[in-house]
Amino acid sequence: MNSALRREYLAALGIQAWVARGATALNVAIPAAASAVVARAAAAPAQPSDAPVPREGGADWPELRARVASCTRCTLCNTRTQTVFGVGSQSAEWLIVGEAPGADEDRQGEPFVGKAGQLLNSMLYAIGLKREQVYIANVLKCRPPGNRDPTASEAAECLPYLEQQIALLRPKLMLAVGRIAAQNLLRTNVTLGGLRQKVHRFGLMQVPLVATYHPAYLLRTPSEKGKAWEDLKFARQVCAGV
Looking at residue 131, what is its pLDDT?
A: 96
pLDDT tens for each residue of 27-78:
334 455 455 555 555 444 444 444 444 577 789 999 999 999 999 999 999 9
Whether 171 is covered by a domain: the verdict is yes
Whether 169 is covered by a domain: the verdict is yes
Looking at residue 110, what is its pLDDT?
A: 97
H and E: helices and strands count for the chain: 10, 6
Q: What is the CA radius of gyration of the chain?
A: 18
pLDDT tens for each residue of 176-203:
999 999 999 999 999 999 999 999 999 9
Instruction: Tell me the pLDDT band of 15, cut-offs 50, 70 and 90.
Output: low
Residue 159: is it exposed, middle or buried by C-beta count within 10 angstroms (0-12/13-18/19+)? buried
Instruction: Tell me the pLDDT band of 8, cut-offs 50, 70 and 90.
Output: low
Instruction: Tell me the pLDDT band of 130, cut-offs 50, 70 and 90.
Output: very high
Does residue 153 carry a pLDDT above 60? yes
Whether 121 is covered by a domain: the verdict is yes
Q: Write out the residue range of the structural domain in which residue 195 sits.
A: 3-45+55-241
Looking at residue 55, what is its pLDDT?
A: 79
Whether 40 is covered by a domain: the verdict is yes
Whether 127 is covered by a domain: the verdict is yes
Q: Considering the chain, what is the average pLDDT of its residues?
A: 85
CATH number at residue 38: 3.40.470.10
The total number of structural domains in the chain stands at 1
Beta strands in the chain (DSSP E): 87-88, 94-98, 135-138, 173-177, 200-202, 207-212
Whether 50 is covered by a domain: the verdict is no
Report the amino acid identity of residue 146: G
Q: How many CB atoms lie within 10 A of CB 143?
A: 25
Whether 136 is covered by a domain: the verdict is yes
